[in-house]
A and B are shown apart, each in its own frame.
Chain A
Amino acid sequence: MPFLPSEPDNESMRACIGVNDLFSDIPPSVRLSCPPLTPPPRGDVEVERAVLGTVGANRPVVSFRGGGVYRHHVPAVVSSIVSRGEFATSYTPYQPEVSQGMLQSLYEYQCLMAELVGLPVVNASMYDWSTALAEAMLLCVRVTHRDAFAVPDTMSPQRRAVLGTYAAAAGVDIIDITHHPETGQMDLEHLAAVLGRPCAGVYIESPSYLGFFEEHVPDMAALAHDTGALLCVGTDPLSCGLARAPGSLGADVVVGEASHLGNPVTYGGPLLGLFAVRDDMALIRMMPGRLIGKTVDADGATGYVMSLQTREQHIRRERATSNICTNEALCAVACAAYLSYLGPRGLAGLAEALMANARYAMRRLSSLPGWEAPAYRSFHFREFVASSPVSPAAIDAALAPHGLAGGIPVGTHAALYCITDLHRRDDIDMLCTVLEGL
């Protein structure tokens, strides 16, 4: 962008203003000398060459890593929609009458996601799953005035770390709930014991970080609710094309990651944090983030606005429910376009294919000497822990020359493998061939 459009008129504009030094309010002691242009402005060709040159040190990879962030195919229709300048170069829709496109798209995101997770109130996005979870914890604390929050000890270390950061500032204790060693399922007896101390909320993940469905969610909901705690469920919304919606199993709050529904993974950012609550004004008024509401205009035509803004920082300041301002709106639009494109049968078909193909991968890996997949005896979605006779580091070292990356290390001899719609059967076969020779 070497050209500043008003530059040719600078002299006449300066003459109008009649001020010599527009920066004279800045103390001389901190004013830089503004040296001549070093380096000189660079044109498109140079910029493109430099960025692609730097990025050229990246190597293509077929990776079996997931754990809450997934590399999925992005349909061209979705990229085409979100590359529209009207969407991409707009700000937060503070003037609703000229921003109906963004507002309706975000409302549709809320509608589609509500149908998936089974809770009617979805906000217009959080930064990612981990911060959605941290905000869910803070919501539970605000609603219950309690200072403990129970989580599964099988949860993602990334999400656990972020939750810990936010909990420390809020003075909230995070309590781990253990799991059954063979099935990985949350230990209900331990949960009941943990709830001997009044907790603000109980958090579970299904599918869990380790890939299997929790099979006793209604029991966990009952245990939580009996002690006055809220149940927060973390999920991959893609699994809800097939699996029971957390909202129908007793969840008060649902959080999760939705970036893989229509967005490239781009080394983990931007992501798309999902946040949903029950239809309960006590929860809605305390929840973080933007909400888009349906209304009418002066002619009675249907239109959309940012609603219930009195929860937000620009109105409520230090008493706001969250400090979030900029969110992941465009990723949510991509998600709405993606879900519209897939439809209920496409989504179920995709979820079934992932399950079937993960099963194929488990069967192939289990056939290798000393390997066992899945390591936990439960129903898995599209991820699973594989235990191996060698360490994950040794596996990755062997795979790298072949352009492959194995699962996320979860133990000295175990890793979490993930299947997405970008894995071919050949990729899984190739993985097994290399591992067989280890």
Chain B
Amino acid sequence: MYRQAAYDDDLYRRSRPGAAGYVPPARFEDAPPLPSALSREVPPDLPELSEQDVMRHFLRLSHMNYGVDTGMYPLGSCTMKYNPKLHEVLANVPLLTMHHPEDPPFFVQGTLALMWHLSELLKDLSGTQALSLQPAAGAQAEYLGVRIIMASHAEAGGGRDEMIVPDTAHGTNPASSAMGGCRVVELPSRDDGRVDVDALAAIVSTRTAGLMLTNPNTLGIFERDIHEIAGIVHDAGGLLYYDGANLNALVGRARPGDMGFDVVHFNFHKTFATPHGGGGPGAGAIGVTKALEPYLPVPRLVRDGDTFSWSYDAPRSIGQVRAYYGNVGVMVRAYAYLYANHGRMHEISGQAVLNAMYLLHLLKSHFEVPYYDDAPLRMHEFVISCAALKKETGCGAADVARRLLDYGIHAPTVHFPLVVKEALMIEPTETESKGELDAFASALIEIKKECYEDPKTVRSAPHVASRRQLDILAAAKRPVLSRMHERG
């Protein structure tokens, strides 16, 4: 039986004037105080706590949080697979954590070699010819990809400013396109949940900069017309962008580069088992074709024999999208994962797909599966709809999701993709056992029963989480965003 801890632990309530755990470093000489015009009038209002206070407070908060280490986390398109603990140890060795990004390359040949080897593995897995590890996250990789595409068009004379994005795409695709200077053109999907190829042919023009595609798409369906899609976009002079959010379905079995994609991004926390940290940090490498290599960001990692260094000499580069080289700590974890597993990535993707299809099989007679008649195969994830359930019982996707929490299981992604009403997007990943999958299916089927028999319990869920339903509307209406904000 699942019960999440519930504390009412307040950092400032624990504060006691004079309490301290920290001892400041020694001073090598006395310094005069700052002149009063520069000096703070009153000290910042931070709590005063012992080390034990700090530990207890945050340990209690951790008890009020659910992670993959706690249980199944089938958040669709987020690929919440298990994060091996060895990687945490490796990413924290002092020889990796101690260096400043401006330190001369002489001191960091090991880190640079690791980045080089990681790049080679990623190029091989994606079928791309050149790669940058700079993006801090998938969305930043998208922005970078859009900039690279726009830079190549600008050099060819410009005039292309339309980015085509399917209606099933993640919100970052249109947002990154807009930020990168593009107008977004939405591409509808067909009855089988795939991109409408005829509509694409009608949309492309001399204004087309490119198409951003997630494959398999967010319904978990593989875009099997990918050659035709690539042909239409390329014939129109546009470029193809591969959103790597769903790469875990394909890795080791098919390569975006072979499908005609010109730009490919990776989400390290999704495909390479790096922890997501409650929102980040992530890392988002980007691979491109030989033709697009000149536009990759600076600095570029350069190898001369066994010696590595950085080069800023790339006149056609789009520049830098963040300071320095990327989230190195995340790269170390991804490299460890690939070093252990790259020879069997196809087994991993195979298991991810088998687990999802098995779960779909358990659920498909109980829930509506949109597009199933026209497209029965799903890859690493699938989407069910609670639209009929909502109509009949008043309990929708969000209610079912919250009720799952009472069963000790994290909820799937809710109300996405937008093309499915009352959507629950489910991605079990390869690291869940058959027992966990069975338990998840049983819980969903039981909750469906509850929706008819006891809808009030479902709609008021969760009941065993550290808080009951939270008032999100009040939080938006009268935002309280900090203590200082609350003081006014």
Contacts and interface: CB of A to CB of B under 8 A. Distances in A.
B482 A77 contact: no
Count chain B CB atoms within 10 A of each CB in A171, A268, A319, A396 and give the residue with the most. A268
Interface stretch (B195-203, B286-294, B353-361, B450-458): B353-361
B329 A266 contact: yes
Contacts of A39: 342-343
B479 to A, nearest CB: 5
Contacts of B483: 111, 114-115
A228 interface: no
B90 interface: yes
A180 interface: no
Contacts of B34: 213, 242-243, 355, 379
A161 interface: yes
Given A5-B432, A264-B329, A240 B20 contact: no
A223 to B, nearest CB: 17
Contacts of B31: 352, 355-356, 359
16 contacts: A13-B354, A13-B355, A22-B354, A83-B88, A97-B465, A98-B405, A101-B466, A121-B481, A265-B101, A270-B329, A270-B330, A325-B170, A326-B282, A331-B280, A333-B278, A343-B19
A56 B107 CA distance: 11
B347 interface: yes
Interface string A321-347: 011111111110100110111111111
Interface stretch (A147-155, A193-201, A303-311, A366-374): A303-311
Contacts of A210: none
Contact of A322 (B62, B179, B319): B179
B320 A17 contact: no
A428 B142 contact: no
Contacts of B298: 161
A341 B14 CA distance: 12
B437 interface: yes
A93 B278 contact: yes
A295 B171 contact: no
A185 interface: no
B281 A42 contact: no
B272 to A, nearest CB: 11
A267 B177 contact: no
B314 interface: no
Contacts of A290: 279
Interface stretch (B45-53, B232-240, B365-373, B387-395): B45-53
B279 A130 contact: no
B460 A298 contact: yes
B99 A265 contact: yes
B108 A305 contact: no
Contact of A4 (B280, B347, B467): B347
A70 to B, nearest CB: 8
Interface in A75-92: 75, 77, 79-81, 83-92
Contacts of A52: 90, 93
A158 B461 CA distance: 48
Interface string B78-93: 1010111010111111
Given A34-B252, A86-B69, A320-B175, 20 more contacts: A5-B434, A26-B254, A27-B224, A29-B258, A46-B340, A55-B93, A61-B99, A70-B100, A93-B279, A99-B64, A100-B61, A100-B65, A110-B481, A267-B96, A269-B136, A298-B471, A341-B21, A343-B46, A346-B21, A396-B104
A57 interface: yes
B45 A115 contact: yes
B54 A97 contact: no
B139 A353 contact: no
Contact of A328 (B22, B39, B97, B280): B280
Contact of A343 (B22, B98, B171): B22
Interface in B329-381: 329-330, 332, 335-337, 339-344, 346-348, 350-351, 353-355, 357-358, 361-362, 375-377, 379
Nearest to B140: A127
Given A32-B254, A107-B482, A54 B226 contact: no
Nearest to A361: B28
Contacts of A169: 147, 150, 179-181
Interface string A149-174: 00000001011011011101111000
Contacts of A34: 252-253, 346
Nearest to B102: A65
Interface string A1-45: 110111101101110111100111111011110100111111110
B69 A344 contact: no
A325 B358 contact: no
Interface in A42-67: 42-44, 46-48, 50-52, 54-61, 63, 65-67
Interface residues of B, number: 207
B469 A97 contact: yes
B280 A60 contact: no
A221 interface: no
B474 to A, nearest CB: 5
Interface in B258-283: 258-259, 267, 269, 273, 275-283
A86 B62 contact: yes
Nearest to B146: A169
B480 interface: yes
A266 B333 CA distance: 13
Contact of A296 (B46, B325, B474): B474
Contact of B221 (A25, A81, A291, A330): A25
Interface residues of A, number: 204
B313 interface: no
B171 A320 contact: yes
Interface in B151-208: 170-172, 174-181, 184
B95 A60 contact: yes
Contacts of A58: 95-96, 99, 107-111
A102 B279 contact: yes
B339 A308 contact: no
B222 interface: yes
B176 A323 contact: yes
Interface in B463-488: 465-472, 474-476, 479-488
- Shortest beta-carbon contacts, A-B, top 5: A268-B101, A349-B24, A101-B65, A330-B277, A329-B279
Contacts of B62: 81, 84, 86-87, 101
Contact of A295 (B275, B281, B470): B470
B442 interface: no
A34 B345 CA distance: 9
Given A291-B479, A322-B179, A158 B323 contact: yes
A271 interface: yes
A229 interface: no
Nearest to B35: A379
A57 B106 CA distance: 9
Contacts of A324: 137, 139-140
B475 to A, nearest CB: 4
A307 B54 contact: no
B48 A88 contact: no
B410 interface: yes
B54 A77 contact: yes
A139 to B, nearest CB: 12
Contacts of A326: 136-139, 267, 269, 276, 279-282, 284
A113 to B, nearest CB: 8
Contact of A69 (B48, B91, B100): B100
A55 B104 contact: no
Contact of A291 (B70, B379, B481): B481
B11 interface: yes
A309 B472 CA distance: 10
Contacts of A301: 8, 467-468
Contacts of A294: 475, 480-481, 486
Nearest to A315: B171
Contacts of B332: 51
B326 to A, nearest CB: 5
Contact of B107 (A5, A59, A347): A59
Contact of B437 (A6, A350, A359): A6
